[in-house]
Amino acid sequence: MTNDPLLRETYVHGHAPAVVRQHGMRTAEEAAAFLLPELSPEMRLLDVGCGPGSITVGLAERLPGGEVVAIDLSQETLAQARLDAEARGVKNLLYEYGSVYELAYPDASFDVAYAHQVFQHLTDRQAALREMLRVVKPGGLLAVRDVDWGSVTYWPPDPWLDRFVDVYEKTARGLGGEPRMGRRLRALFHEAGVSDVHVTGAVWCYATREETVTWGDSYADRLLTSSMGERQVETGLSTQAEIEAMAEAFRVWARKPDALWAFTHMAALGRKPAS
């Protein structure tokens, strides 16, 4: 826990290497596919909750005459993201510490505000979207993408993995988040008065040995080395022994020749009304 006033809530996954490594594999091509056709090179884009920045650099590369500002609450992750951007020679990109609830930017100062896999972790999602709307110009774009944990399908079945999905959802909700955010994005945008709302869905499907091992081991490591396991114990939803059993089940399942994991990710794109 922290006294930092910006940290109004607890990010359930934490920022251990097992988490950040997995996020660092994401790309703008995939994670912002719904937004890319709308971008033009001079735009100014805000990336909220940028994590390790692997999506962010891809966005900055598409805006050579513009700029990307990316914020997150993890100083350590931001420091690594800055080094990566430097190594890739991306200069039109600024990483700053900050919370979506209190953006340190003037009204109407961005053409686009984007958030990938962030809203599911927020306790006050309307306040967050309102703040993103504030900093976007009239007619500018709002782009938010989130998973829906209620759509998880996997094979072969394992009682510990079923238990994990159940406990994960309860833990995330107990911390004020919404693990089934994907299905609620259209409602979120409508409630905030966003116009021209268009929602699309895509499935992440892991069905090769490399993919299932990367995924299964990442969740095993998150359970054992990141705050995810601690939160489940703190909230009384699991014992430490159960956390260890879930982690082991993930590793064993991931190496089964028939292993497959899939879940749906929804993306909402809309515009700030002109007046």
Ligand X SMILES: C[S@@+](CC[C@H](N)C(=O)[O-])C[C@H]1O[C@@H](n2cnc3c(N)ncnc32)[C@H](O)[C@@H]1O
Which residues bind to ligand X, rule: CB under 6 A? 11, 23, 26, 31, 48-51, 55, 71-74, 77, 99-101, 116-118, 121
Nearer to ligand X, 26 or 222 (CB): 26
**Tokens, residue 69:** 């500002």
Nearer to ligand X, 23 or 259 (CB): 23
Smallest gap from Cβ 74 to ligand X, in A, equals 5
Task: Please state, as a whole number, how many other Cβ atoms lie within 10 Å of the Cβ of residue 106.
Answer: 9
Smallest gap from Cβ 43 to ligand X, in A, equals 18
Smallest gap from Cβ 258 to ligand X, in A, equals 28
Nearer to ligand X, 228 or 259 (CB): 228
Smallest gap from Cβ 107 to ligand X, in A, equals 19
Nearer to ligand X, 120 or 232 (CB): 120
Smallest gap from Cβ 71 to ligand X, in A, equals 6
| DSSP secondary structure, the chain, as one string | ----TT--S--TT---HHHHHHHTT--HHHHTTTTGGG--TT-EEEEET-TT-HHHHHHHHT-TTSEEEEEES-HHHHHHHHHHHHHTT--SEEEEE--GGG--S-TT-EEEEEEES-GGG-S-HHHHHHHHHHHEEEEEEEEEEEEEEEEEEEES--HHHHHHHHHHHHHHHHTT--TTGGGGHHHHHHHTT-EEEEEEEEEEEE-SHHHHHHHHHHHHHHHHHSHHHHHHHHTTS--HHHHHHHHHHHHHHHTSTT-EEEEEEEEEEEE----
Nearer to ligand X, 54 or 259 (CB): 54
Smallest gap from Cβ 26 to ligand X, in A, equals 5
Nearer to ligand X, 31 or 224 (CB): 31
